[in-house]
Structure 1
Amino acid sequence: MKAFGKILGLVLLGLLLIIVALGFALTHLFDPNDYKDEIRQIARDKAHIELTLNGDIGWSLFPWLGLELHEASVATLTTPTQPFADLQMLGLSVRVLPLLRREVQMSDVRVEGLNLRLNRDKQGHGNWEDIGKNAPVATTDTPAPVPAEPATEPKAEKPPQPIRLDIDSLTINNARIEYNDEQTGKQFSAESIQLSAGAIHDGASIPLKLTAFFGSNQPVMRVKTELNGNLRIQRALKRYQFEDMKLSGEATGEPLQGKTVTFSTQGQLLVDLAANIAEWTNLKLSANQLRALGELKVNDLDKTPQISGALSIAQFDLAKFLDSIGSPLPPMAEGSLSKVELVSRLKGTPTSMALEDLNLKLDGSTFTGRLAVDDFAKQSLRVQLKGDTFNADNYLPAKSESAKGATAARQAEVQNSEAGAMAAGGTTPLPDAPTKGAWSTDKLLPLTRLRTLDVDADLAFGQLTLSKLPIQNAALKATGIDGQLKLDTLSGGLYNGTFQANGTLDVRQDIPVLALQTRIKQVSVERILQAQGQTPPVKGQITLDSNLSGRGNSQKALIDSLNGTASFVINNGVLLNANLEQQLCTGIALLNRKTLSSTPQGKDTPFQELRGNLTLRNGVANNPDLKVRIPGLTVNGNGDVDLRVLGMDYRVGIIVEGDKRDTPDPACEVGANFQNIEVPLRCRGPLELGAKACRLDKDGLSQVAIKAAGNKLSEKLEEKLDKVNPQLKDALKGLFKR
């Protein structure tokens, strides 16, 4: 038995030596480089590709079937002279015996200097679409029809078992992929590709590292990336995992305006094609100052994928972040958008995304609700938010230097007029009409962006500050599509009154058209003016209705083209720093040809009601029916308010009962000659001066004196005529009345 075993061992050893000798002979006596033409022909016939072998072929037979290709290129049979891929070296080796069991066991696989060129021509045809196709054959003769053979039943074949993949390692060095689209002129590239993978076994964790530089020309972009993780492939289960994935890098280019974005993302990725789901758990994302956590899940991969998940963004400075990615915001109030954080659920499809159950904190304000883009292509924005407090003024662009200069010039003009007003004295000249423009020429609206806007917004605020006005329980609803925007409502409480507005904005043309309707009810007029930084000339509760329209893309253009109507009532008010009593007494004293013995006390004039109607045309409001109810006085007026320069020019008539004090000034007594006679005033100057811009109308006052003299003459004539024949008396009276 021992001898048999020894003999068997010697036989096996001899067979092994023979196999080794045959392998040595094949690899050393057989040179595959002598058969390059045959190899090219096999590639044409079997793979339908044009293979060019410029370098040597190295190989080994047993126990590894080894192969090395140098300086090789591949083209399609359609364009054999235009290779779409070439490489410097491909090296791989496969165990021979496992191949018989449909198992691929490889040692190290190395690819050096791979260049892959993908091109889509002007007709939209890609060069990769011809891979594996036969070369087109040009024929002129119509082939004879081939007699149809009787159909035979196909034999059932056993489905092939999947090939088992087993590679010790994979390395790709200095690879490059380029894509060029001649239709659009766009180019994309991936350069300096370095890929290294550990042992590749089905179901096992495969360490993976990839680095590359990506670039594009429209727009010009450059991105450096590095990808690390462990890849797990379970082909039988159609399950693929990327564990401990981390992608990091830097990006720069035209969209970033020369700035650099440093980004990093990581997490656990899973794709289960059997269940048609994909997941990204333990998601962490950073981009410059931005830090976010979350998770994503995609269902129905075989249909329309449905996206769900959650997102949490830690507090960060949004203004600085946008500046760091080349998208700086216009100058705003200091500290605006410096504290932003967000928590929300995600829900979407490949064409839409929604932030549900949103909780957004913005510079001390808190918003809850929903924010969605219903269609990425149309940028259909849908907003449903409820906030506690929000100051919209902090997020408006700051005034330009030219606008600041215009405002300063007008303020100086108003101050000069106010300094010379001296309403208490009533003897200074009438203020000049203002001439300085009151409105900015800066562009108000981004017309190009608004024309593409598709928005439906429903907002509510506990308090909304807009144009420095604190609107309580504010509600805003607006829509916009195809360049037509509609403000359905903007309403709320304002200074113990109410405020409501609605309107439309048409930006389809180069000159936008605005229409606005407003209603203010029982709102403190002085607090409105104080909020705008103005010294109020009047106090009281105002009710205002207006229906206005204008054209243009600046404050000045809109005011210059302002047309429409308005009506106003101010109840229980006071004309501040305007003592009409003194103005009137001065006028009456002049009519009486007397001098006031004292100065009336007080500097304000209370009134019960001030009302009127306005008709606006090209920025000038005509007010034909100004009426003021003051105890003991009847006031009527008419004039214009020039909104372009915020100036006024009024003629006011006041019918007085005289000094009603217990001890009236004798010079201010209203005799029978002045009963029902209007004392005329002229009011001209900046609108901010109010009644301080009013003076006695000397020309009108002379007419009053003539009328008063006529009354006095009529009284004397009446006394004389008492002794005359009644018929003659009536005739003479009629003569004097003509």
Structure 2
Amino acid sequence: MLKKLFIFLMVLVAIFVGALAWLVFAVDPNQYKPQLQDMAAKQGIKLELAGDIGWQFWPSIGLQVSDVSIAPNVRPLDKIVQAEQLSVGVALMPLLQKKIHVADLALHKPTITLTVDEQGRGNWEAFSQLAAVQQSAPLGGRGRSVRQTASANGLDLAVDQVSISDGTLSYSNAQDKSSLELRELDLVADSIQLGGDPGALDLSAQLHSSTLKAPVDLELEGTVGLDKALRGLRLQPLTLRAGSGDASATVNLRGNVQRKAEHGPWQLQVSVDGSFKELKDWLKLTGTELETRDPSAMQRLTLNTELRGDTDKMQLEPLQLQLDDFKLTGLAEVDNTPAVPNLTLRLQGEDLVVDGYLPPQQEGEEESAAAAPVAAPAALLPLGSLRGFTADLQLTLNRLQALDLTIEQPRVAVTANNGLVTLKELGGGLFGGKFETTGKLDAREELALVEFTGGLLGVKLDEVQGTYAPSDKFKLGGNADIKWQGRTGGVTDKDLQEQLEVNASLGSADMTMAPINVERGLCELVAYVERGTGGQSTEQAPAAEGTEAGTGPKQWPAETRLQNLQARIHFLDNIAKVSGIQAGVENLTLTGDGKVDLNAQNFDFALGLSVQGEATSEDGCSIKNPRWRNRILPLRCAASFDAVSATTCKPDTRRLDDLIRDEAEHKLRKKYGDKIDEKKEELKDKLKGLFKR
């Protein structure tokens, strides 16, 4: 029995081989070349088969032809596909009936060229236009389908699989001058038919671009469906993987992309789930070297969103972004339908620590910078990029920490209108209080103009000083309200810094300065003048060395408490000029002006103090001479931030001359009356001796 079965199988094989041999010798596939080219021409395709069509027997029975090219009929010289070899696998049973059923189609070493012209038209669109015509044409006559036309000529082009091996795909866009190239392209599209069920897609390639420092390996796999007119694409799902060195990315896409009209916008409804790792390496690929203070910063980025709309108006909602451990949620919308495109962005975030993303601070960097500051080159402001669009951006966070600043619940709202950027709101909790700022940036001309106004309410002065002018010897305390108006302008970032001008007002009900004591300075001033003119107008007045006359050392408080302080501040070139100072210090009234130089880290104030009553305070000094009451007495407070002491505020010798002369003359007139003229020489000698001291 087995012997008969074996003989039967051998007979079948012999019949099959004989039939196949007869078919190979009896059927010349080149006879189909004109039909194939004519059929392609009727579909608007210029098909060139320069080589002979021959049989292939491995890996499957089929046909192969070398030197193949494809171009649109309307542009026959614009070859979109050129391949060294085209292989067509055929089904065996139709082949025995002298019919060709294309089971698979393979391109070896093809070059695929895709271009977009200045009007935004792709060179491949002619194929989709013709596919739409074939889809809408009636059956029979000139409107017969590709498959019907082929079948009438003994051909069946129902392709089960399309593959590409060792191919190259180049893309260029004349609108944005971009270009890229896929090399070592391998692709297998299994059971992907126009209008049919989705089929499997598997692609691998190497991406090269002039904007990349190294190639990027790409892998694409998933299930894809195409509509008959090549105007629809179903992703169920599609996964893209990319990598270069340690940098890697994975993007999962699921949804639909379709185009209802021939030149209409593409409609999108796609869910996007992306993950990017080693962001520093991705930036390095584009030529940007980035080092951060925190080595773990910029390690990963994830994106989750639903993309809906079309290429004219697109919305991403909900939008979820996560950079390392920092999360943002919200929505984004891009509208290209108006004459000026519009961008809308609404985002809410958690705690953001910016310090970790700043450049690393080198050891000894602060000291070397202070000893020999090196100015960074001025960078041009990107004014052109602020024009040509409108925008409405809003961002709120739970907490923002940057450069030793901690802002609670920061919020920002910005609108842009073709170069005019308006800061509608910038606020949050800062220095124990609240701040609010509004402003605008006008970038419509070649020179940028910036104006802003705002204020800090209820801020703690010790926190402000600790951030901008830290010192172990000079301390500010209390709360204050600061309001400001400012402006600047220029074409570089250095211009903005150098031309920054701010006018501010300061108000505080309980400001303290330590270790300065201006009351002590006043008492020393009165005692100094009285001793110089031969009088005594203070009781228990401390001497310059800090002792009280006749009572031993007096311990002055190592601070000054300013009551209801008011002042105006003008800030320019890192120098704050303070004017219109008004405050109370115990029973004293304080006025004056001065400046704080943040560049040199010092201050210099010329103050005027007047005593309202018979004593400077309950524990201060008594003013016996009524001529010293309600009279402005000059005091000077000047020092560097690191050299402040209890004696920083001293009598202002620059303004004492007139005061001493006036007091000496008063006492002489009181003593000598009309004989004062006879004592002029004596007074002159006395004053000379005083000034020598």
TM-score scaled to structure 1, two decimals?
0.65
Tell me which amino acid in the other structure corresponds to 1:382: T
Q: Distance in 1 between matches of 2:44 and 2:157?
A: 30
Residue 501 of structure 1 aligns to a residue whose secondary structure is strand
Q: Distance in 1 between matches of 2:239 and 2:73?
A: 47
Residue 255 of structure 1 aligns to a residue whose secondary structure is coil
The 5 A counterparts of 1:643-722 are 648-656=603-611, 670-684=624-638, 686=640, 694-713=649-668, 715-716=670-671
Residue 496 of structure 2 aligns to a residue whose secondary structure is helix
Aligned residue number for residue 3 of structure 1? none
**Cα distance 1:338–1:548, how it changes in 2: closer, same or farther (>3 A)?**
same
Matched, 1:322 2:283: yes
Counterpart selection for 2:489 from 551, 557, 561: 551
**Cα distance 1:701–1:277, how it changes in 2: closer, same or farther (>3 A)?**
same
Per-residue CA deviations over 1:28-76 (Å, capped at 9, x if unaligned) read 9xx999xx9x99x999x9999999998778899xxxxx99877799999
Q: Distance in 1 between matches of 2:457 and 2:493?
A: 25
Aligned residue number for residue 202 of structure 2? 246
**Cα distance 1:713–1:505, how it changes in 2: closer, same or farther (>3 A)?**
same
Matched, 1:228 2:188: yes
Aligned residue number for residue 425 of structure 1? none
**Cα distance 1:26–1:528, how it changes in 2: closer, same or farther (>3 A)?**
closer
Q: Distance in 2 between matches of 1:717 and 1:462?
A: 77
Q: For residue 645 of structure 1, report the CA deviation from its aligned partner.
A: 5.4
Per-residue CA deviations over 1:534-563 (Å, capped at 9, x if unaligned) read 236421212112111112366753343233
Asked if 2 retains the 8 angstrom alpha-carbon contact of 1:537 and 1:691, the reply is: no
Could you tell me which runs of 5 or more consecutive residues in structure 1 were left unpaired when the two chains were aligned: 1-18, 61-65, 132-155, 168-198, 411-435, 722-738
**Cα distance 1:599–1:334, how it changes in 2: closer, same or farther (>3 A)?**
farther
Q: Specify the structure having the higher radius of gyration (Cα).
A: 1
Residue 226 of structure 1 aligns to a residue whose secondary structure is strand
Q: Distance in 1 between matches of 2:49 and 2:598?
A: 84
**Cα distance 1:450–1:684, how it changes in 2: closer, same or farther (>3 A)?**
farther
Residue 516 of structure 2 aligns to a residue whose secondary structure is coil
Counterpart selection for 1:589 from 527, 536, 541: 527
Q: Distance in 1 between matches of 2:445 and 2:53?
A: 69
Aligned residue number for residue 556 of structure 2? 601
Per-residue CA deviations over 1:143-180 (Å, capped at 9, x if unaligned) read xxxxxxxxxxxxx969747636999xxxxxxxxxxxxx
Q: Which moved more, 1:518-527 or 1:289-298?
A: 289-298
Asked if 2 retains the 8 angstrom alpha-carbon contact of 1:440 and 1:555, the reply is: no
Aligned residue number for residue 584 of structure 2? 629
**Cα distance 1:321–1:98, how it changes in 2: closer, same or farther (>3 A)?**
closer
Q: Distance in 1 between matches of 2:465 and 2:316?
A: 40
Q: Percent identity?
A: 23
Q: Distance in 1 between matches of 2:230 and 2:78?
A: 43
The 5 A counterparts of 1:276-291 are 278-288=233-243, 289-291=248-250
Q: Which moved more, 1:556-565 or 1:246-255?
A: 556-565
Matched, 1:577 2:515: yes
Tell me which amino acid in the other structure corresponds to 1:698: T
Aligned residue number for residue 356 of structure 1? 317
The 5 A counterparts of 1:450-465 are 450-451=386-387, 454-465=390-401
Q: For residue 567 of structure 1, report the CA deviation from its aligned partner.
A: 1.5
Per-residue CA deviations over 1:282-308 (Å, capped at 9, x if unaligned) read 333332322343422236645644322
Counterpart selection for 1:343 from 301, 304, 310: 304
Matched, 1:105 2:101: yes
Aligned residue number for residue 477 of structure 2? 539
Asked if 1 retains the 8 angstrom alpha-carbon contact of 2:89 and 2:105, the reply is: yes
Q: Distance in 2 between matches of 1:677 and 1:590?
A: 16
Matched, 1:374 2:335: yes
Q: Distance in 1 between matches of 2:635 and 2:38?
A: 110
Residue 636 of structure 2 aligns to a residue whose secondary structure is strand
Residue 528 of structure 1 aligns to a residue whose secondary structure is helix
Aligned residue number for residue 7 of structure 1? none
Q: Distance in 2 between matches of 1:337 and 1:554?
A: 28
Asked if 2 retains the 8 angstrom alpha-carbon contact of 1:561 and 1:619, the reply is: no
Q: For residue 270 of structure 1, report the CA deviation from its aligned partner.
A: 2.0
Q: Distance in 2 between matches of 1:360 and 1:467?
A: 24
Q: For residue 384 of structure 1, report the CA deviation from its aligned partner.
A: 0.4
Q: Distance in 1 between matches of 2:569 and 2:24?
A: 110
Asked if 1 retains the 8 angstrom alpha-carbon contact of 2:563 and 2:584, the reply is: yes
Counterpart selection for 1:295 from 246, 249, 254: 254
Q: Distance in 1 between matches of 2:269 and 2:307?
A: 5
Q: Distance in 1 between matches of 2:48 and 2:493?
A: 71
**Cα distance 1:205–1:538, how it changes in 2: closer, same or farther (>3 A)?**
same
Aligned residue number for residue 167 of structure 2? 212
Q: For residue 382 of structure 1, report the CA deviation from its aligned partner.
A: 2.3
Q: Distance in 2 between matches of 1:558 and 1:608?
A: 36
**Cα distance 1:510–1:695, how it changes in 2: closer, same or farther (>3 A)?**
farther
Aligned residue number for residue 685 of structure 2? none
Aligned residue number for residue 567 of structure 2? 612
Q: What's the RMSD between the two structures over aligned residues?
A: 5.7
**Cα distance 1:440–1:409, how it changes in 2: closer, same or farther (>3 A)?**
farther
Tell me which amino acid in the other structure corresponds to 1:591: V
Q: When the two structures are aligned, how many residues end up with a matched partner?
A: 605
Q: For residue 662 of structure 1, report the CA deviation from its aligned partner.
A: 7.2
Aligned residue number for residue 412 of structure 2? 476
Aligned residue number for residue 313 of structure 1? 274
Counterpart selection for 1:390 from 352, 368, 377: 352
Could you tell me which runs of 5 or more consecutive residues in structure 2 were left unpaired when the two chains were aligned: 1-18, 57-61, 128-139, 173-177, 537-542, 677-693
Tell me which amino acid in the other structure corresponds to 1:655: S
**Cα distance 1:252–1:711, how it changes in 2: closer, same or farther (>3 A)?**
same
Residue 198 of structure 2 aligns to a residue whose secondary structure is strand
Per-residue CA deviations over 1:393-436 (Å, capped at 9, x if unaligned) read 555567899996785249xxxxxxxxxxxxxxxxxxxxxxxxx9
TM-score scaled to structure 2, two decimals?
0.69
Q: For residue 578 of structure 1, report the CA deviation from its aligned partner.
A: 0.8
Q: For residue 268 of structure 1, report the CA deviation from its aligned partner.
A: 1.5
Matched, 1:562 2:519: no
**Cα distance 1:623–1:305, how it changes in 2: closer, same or farther (>3 A)?**
same
Tell me which amino acid in the other structure corresponds to 1:367: L
Counterpart selection for 1:266 from 212, 221, 227: 221
Q: Distance in 1 between matches of 2:219 and 2:639?
A: 64
Asked if 2 retains the 8 angstrom alpha-carbon contact of 1:441 and 1:557, the reply is: no
Aligned residue number for residue 181 of structure 1? none
Asked if 1 retains the 8 angstrom alpha-carbon contact of 2:166 and 2:185, the reply is: yes
Residue 470 of structure 2 aligns to a residue whose secondary structure is coil
Q: For residue 680 of structure 1, report the CA deviation from its aligned partner.
A: 1.1
**Cα distance 1:395–1:480, how it changes in 2: closer, same or farther (>3 A)?**
farther
Asked if 1 retains the 8 angstrom alpha-carbon contact of 2:187 and 2:204, the reply is: yes
Q: For residue 579 of structure 1, report the CA deviation from its aligned partner.
A: 2.0
Tell me which amino acid in the other structure corresponds to 2:589: T
Q: Distance in 1 between matches of 2:202 and 2:24?
A: 47
**Cα distance 1:323–1:342, how it changes in 2: closer, same or farther (>3 A)?**
same
Residue 297 of structure 2 aligns to a residue whose secondary structure is coil
Asked if 2 retains the 8 angstrom alpha-carbon contact of 1:103 and 1:166, the reply is: no
Q: Distance in 2 between matches of 1:511 and 1:281?
A: 51
Q: Which moved more, 1:323-332 or 1:493-502?
A: 323-332
Residue 187 of structure 2 aligns to a residue whose secondary structure is strand
Tell me which amino acid in the other structure corresponds to 2:406: P
Q: Which moved more, 1:316-325 or 1:496-505?
A: 316-325
Tell me which amino acid in the other structure corresponds to 2:239: K
Asked if 2 retains the 8 angstrom alpha-carbon contact of 1:583 and 1:695, the reply is: yes
Tell me which amino acid in the other structure corresponds to 1:608: Q
